[in-house]
């Protein structure tokens, strides 16, 4: 009998590897057995559905530009489909154990929590057509079972983590407010290149000249006090968006950050040029504490996660977990649930 550690990624609030026994000898529909509880595909459908929705959103936003499907997008040499399957397996096992432990320790869902579960399930079902719901392979009973297990598992997690002895003031003292000083800006942007998956292709000379003329027009209008909304109506091709960052972020170009950090609140920059295009930056708040406060909360949560890991590792010793890897590894996530009408999956005839 081989053993394996499942890969955990930041989609889960608990970040640690779980060792499991693997069974490659069974071809029945049991995917994982925890003690005497056999979990089948029905127990996985909601989590598979969530990851399929993430894929759909990502593909709508990025597939055309990057030229790659979400499942095929690689992270550190592993495709997102494999990471998704590892995440789903980890999450299903995690919540099954947490809900089992909750019951052992006397935790139950009260009437309000059960009613909230049913309301959330009905809201999800109402957001889909009958065809879409059928395509997911789920029904109301499957969803209520899944939601109740998640709610009970969360209730147990919160009860355990609330008892942890954490010195929040000591954690706060380790976070440097200067390091997490956030600059909140808005900008008007004229692109100067085509951006595709890992490629930046500059425009030809004529288009570059047009882009330069447009950003100069924007500069003149802002110097006259014209609001960004009005500039957008007057300058063809101008793009507006908000951009917040701390200096260590790589979400904004270095040229953008250098220009922005020199601005006082309410100031506008001169033309800022990067590999992607030209910007006029408007400083909204050059000393926001949002990221600082988030860093503190993240550090507190990390400490809770570390303590819960210790607790969970001890719980794992009490359970016998066997995965039917031969069956699980052959499942194609995209063919199991998909809410897009007309997309083939194993539930559509």
Q: Which token pair is 312?
A: 């969970």
Q: How many domains, the chain?
A: 2
Q: Are residues 332 and 270 in the same domain?
A: no
Q: Let me know if residue 156 belongs to a domain.
A: yes
Q: Which residue has the higher pLDDT, 28 or 52?
A: 52
pLDDT at 127 > cutoff 90: yes
Question: Residue 152: phi, psi to the nearest 5?
Answer: -65, -40
Q: What is the mean pLDDT of residues 106-122?
A: 97
Domain identity same for 224 and 249: yes
The strand pairing partners of 267, in sequence order, are none
Buried-state track 290-316, b at ≥16 Cβ within 10 A, e below 16: ebbeebbeebbeebbbebbeeebeeee
Q: Answer with the residue of higher pLDDT: 333 or 43.
A: 43
Cα Rg of the chain, angstroms: 25
How far is residue 212 from each of residues 13, 206, 222, 273, measured CA to CA in Å?
46, 10, 15, 10
Domain assignment present for residue 244? The answer is: yes
Is it the case that residue 290 has pLDDT exceeding 90? yes
Same domain, 9 and 93: yes
Domain that holds residue 249: 182-288
Say which residues have a Cβ less than 8 Å from residue 273's Cβ, sequence separation at least 6: 192, 255, 279
Kindly state whether residues 207 and 325 are assigned to the same domain: no
Do both 117 and 250 map to the same domain?
Answer: no
DSSP character for 227?
-
243 and 131 part of one domain: no
Secondary structure (3-state) at 67? coil
Q: Residue 239 to residues 178, 180, 349: CA-CA distances in angstroms?
A: 31, 28, 45
Pairing relationship of beta strands 321-324 and 19-23 according to DSSP bridges: parallel
Q: Are residues 106 and 254 in the same domain?
A: no
The reply to whether 225 falls in a domain is yes
Flag whether 153 is in a domain: yes
User: Model's pTM, two decimal places?
Assistant: 0.68
Domain annotation covers residue 193: yes
Is 203 inside any structural domain?
yes
What string of DSSP letters covers 233-275? HHSTT-EEEEEEE-TT-SSS-HHHHHHHHTPPTT-B---EE-S
Residue 177 within any structural domain of the chain: no
Given a cut of 80, whether residue 206 has pLDDT beyond it is: yes
Per residue in 239-273, pLDDT (tens digit) is: 999 999 999 999 999 999 999 999 999 999 999 99
Pair type for strands 182-191 and 78-79: unpaired
Domain assignment of residue 312, yes or no: no
Q: Which among 248, 268, 288 is the end of a domain?
A: 288
The answer on 147 and 244 residing in a single domain is no
CATH number at residue 195: 3.10.50.40
pLDDT at 48 over 60: yes
Q: Average per-residue pLDDT in the chain?
A: 87
β-pair type (277-288, 272-273) = antiparallel
Give the model confidence (pLDDT) of 221-240 as tens digits: 999 999 999 999 999 999 99
Q: Tell me, yes or no, whether 121 and 9 share the same domain.
A: yes
Under the banding of pLDDT at 50, 70 and 90, the label for residue 197 is: low
Do residues 240 and 332 share a domain? no
Domain of 151, CATH number, reads 1.10.4030
Is 129 in the same domain as 200?
Answer: no
* pLDDT at residue 9 tops 90: no
- Indicate the pLDDT class of residue 337, thresholds 50, 70 and 90: low
Mean pLDDT, residues 120-131 taken together: 95
Looking at the structure, tell me whether residues 12 and 159 fall in a common domain. yes
How confident is the model at residue 71, as a pLDDT?
84
pLDDT in tens, 316-325: 999 999 999 9
């Amino acid at each position: 009998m081989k053993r394996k550690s499942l890969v955990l990624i930041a989609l889960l609030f608990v970040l640690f590897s779980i060792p499991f026994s693997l069974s490659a000898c069974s071809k029945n529909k049991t995917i994982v057995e925890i003690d005497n509880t056999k979990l089948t595909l029905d127990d996985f459908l909601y989590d598979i559905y969530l990851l399929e929705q993430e894929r759909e959103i990502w593909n709508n936003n990025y597939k055309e530009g990057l030229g790659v499907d979400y499942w095929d997008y690689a992270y550190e040499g592993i495709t997102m489909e494999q990471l998704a399957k590892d995440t789903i397996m980890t999450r299903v096992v995690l919540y099954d154990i947490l809900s089992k432990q909750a019951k052992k320790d006397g935790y139950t869902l009260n009437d309000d929590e059960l009613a909230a579960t049913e309301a959330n399930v009905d809201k999800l079902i109402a957001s889909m057509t009958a065809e879409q719901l059928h395509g997911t392979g789920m029904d109301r009973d499957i969803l209520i079972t899944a939601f109740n297990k998640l709610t009970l598992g969360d209730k147990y997690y919160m009860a355990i983590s609330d008892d942890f002895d954490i010195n929040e003031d000591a954690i706060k003292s380790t976070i440097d407010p200067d390091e997490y000083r956030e600059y909140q800006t808005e900008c008007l942007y004229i692109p100067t290149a085509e951006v595709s998956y890992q490629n930046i292709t500059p425009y030809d000379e004529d288009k570059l000249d047009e882009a330069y003329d447009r950003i100069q027009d924007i500069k003149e209008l802002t110097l006259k006090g014209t609001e960004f909304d009005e500039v957008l109506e007057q300058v063809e091709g101008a793009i507006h968006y908000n951009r917040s960052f701390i200096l260590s972020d790589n979400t904004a170009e270095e040229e953008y950050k250098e220009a922005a950090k020199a601005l006082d609140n309410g100031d506008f920059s001169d033309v800022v040029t990067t590999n992607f295009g030209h910007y006029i930056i408007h400083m909204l708040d050059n000393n926001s504490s949002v990221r600082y406060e988030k860093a503190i909360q993240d550090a507190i949560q990390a400490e809770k996660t570390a303590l819960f890991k210790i607790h969970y590792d001890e719980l794992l010793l009490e359970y016998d977990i066997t995965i039917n890897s031969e069956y699980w590894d052959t499942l194609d996530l995209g063919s199991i649930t998909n809410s897009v009408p007309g997309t083939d999956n194993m539930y559509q005839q």
